[in-house]
Amino acid sequence: MSIKIGDTIPKTTINVVKDGIQATDSATFFADKKVVLFAVPGAFTPTCSAKHLPGFIEHLDSFSKRGIEVACVSVNDGFVMAAWGKAQNAPENLHLLADGNAEFTKALGLELDASGFGMGIRSQRFALYADNGVVKALFVEAPGEFKVSSAEHVLANI
């Protein structure tokens, strides 16, 4: 079952890519703050690299002005996420989260079987807004789409 509005972010291990790779639990990461989390099926993939992450980088100040932190999660290891962040010139205040074993993604109920594309289990493309770990808005893309999880759509709807 997929997470829904009003649910609390499930507690799992997530790796924060900042000054190395630091394991933390998701409850701690989301505690006492407002966070927009967007998920991409994979670092270095076309839509993720050309549109999804760049859109959030472009609008990061708009989220910050509202007191909202922004995080990107992908079912990739921390080294890949670090390299992708560097390649994309992701600012330090945009949190990159590595979910290499899809533990967090599966706990959210938002996994995607991309085995047909040689990618294994990945995350669906989505964005959510959480306040102190409680989901206040959730935007899950239809397969192959990139609309509702864009930075522009999220900004307009939270």
- Is the Cα dihedral 25, 27, 30, 36 positive or negative? positive
Q: Report helix, strand or coil for 15.
A: strand
Just list the catalytic residues: 48
3 state DSSP class of 145: coil
18, with CB counted inside 10 A (0-12, 13-18, 19+), is: middle
| 125 within 8 A of 132, measured Cβ to Cβ | no
Best CA proximity match to 104, nearest among 128, 80, 88, 87: 128
